[in-house]
Amino acid sequence: MAKQLKVPSLQHMARIWRPDAEAIRKVLVRLATHGPSFSYAPLFKIVHEMLVFKTPYEVSVEAVRRTKRDDVRENFLGIMPLINEYFSRVRPSFVHEVTPRLYSLSRDIQVPFAPPLMYGAGGTVVFPWLSFWKSNPLEGEALSLFVTIVEELILQDSDLEDAQFKILDFSAKDSRSQRELSVIQASDIPRLNPERKTEMLAVFAEGYRLARDHLQGISSGEAVSESVLINEEQMNLF
């Protein structure tokens, strides 16, 4: 049975982007056939509970230590001190969930965007985006594409139009280094002009359709040619 191709989230779409559609097709096919096997969702829940319910850090760490898979547990434990370093200093006056929404890339492709939360502190509304990838964080045009589209979506929401948009990057400098927390002010990221944004999105849409057609054409039992495994840290789509 052919694999079902999911439309990647907005951040993953930006990370998957390549200069030509065929390269995007290959990445999407590999993801559909050899996708990652764990999710960072528990960490988003932990941040939410720390801010909303004032859950003590030690309680959150103990919950992480009960993670069954050794590699996932060690991965999460490497992030927990950095989460605590940042959010233990936050004294929010309110914390609100942000309604998920879709970005219309084309008539047939709707890209999901699900922000974790927003909070108010010191009279300022803060919209933090948490990026837990250990390697290959967004940078360059990919980062500009992400920020440009997020800004479009934020400006459509009256609750977020004046928010400080921050990217909390929990990556490591290289494979031998420990993770570090970098706080990126989205206001410092160059925006794409409308023409370049449209061009980049058109290339992605073409690559997505190529991947979708490729996977739909695979009959039951056939092998997919792009069978190279993707490292879970390099492309975590869940």
Residue recorded with tokens 């690559």: 207
Q: What is the pLDDT of residues 188-206, one digit of tens each?
A: 999 999 999 999 999 999 9
Q: What is the pLDDT of residues 157-184, one digit of tens each?
A: 887 888 999 999 999 988 888 999 999 9
d(CA 62, CA 75): 14
Residue recorded with tokens 């045009």: 141
For residue 215, which of 225, 228, 201 has the smallest C-alpha distance?
A: 225
Is the separation of the CB atoms in 139 and 129 below 8 Å? no
- 219 pLDDT more than 50: no
pLDDT reported for residue 218: 67
d(CA 146, CA 144): 5
Six-digit token string for 180: 């570090």
**Any idea which of 67-71, 105-109, 163-167, 226-230 has the lowest mean pLDDT?**
226-230
Q: What is the pLDDT of residues 47-93, one digit of tens each?
A: 999 999 999 999 999 999 999 999 999 999 999 999 999 999 999 99
Domain ranges of the chain: 10-40+94-216
For residue 106, which of 207, 230, 225 has the smallest C-alpha distance?
A: 207
- The conformation of residue 25, written as its DSSP 8-state character, comes to H
pLDDT reported for residue 236: 43
- 95 pLDDT more than 70: yes
Mean pLDDT of the chain: 89
pLDDT reported for residue 175: 80
Q: What is the pLDDT of residues 3-41, one digit of tens each?
A: 678 999 999 999 999 999 999 999 999 998 887 778 899
pLDDT reported for residue 134: 92
Using a pLDDT cut of 90, give the percent of the chain over it: 74
**Amino acid letter, 123:** G
d(CA 217, CA 196): 32
φ, ψ dihedrals at 113, nearest 5°: -135, 115
pLDDT reported for residue 144: 98
pLDDT reported for residue 103: 96
- The CB density around residue 69, as the number of other CB atoms within 10 Å, is 11
* pLDDT band at residue 120 under the 50/70/90 scheme: very high
As a residue count, the chain comes to 238
Element (H, E) at 72: helix 70-87
CA distances from 83 to 37, 59, 94, 129, 136 (A): 23, 14, 19, 12, 19
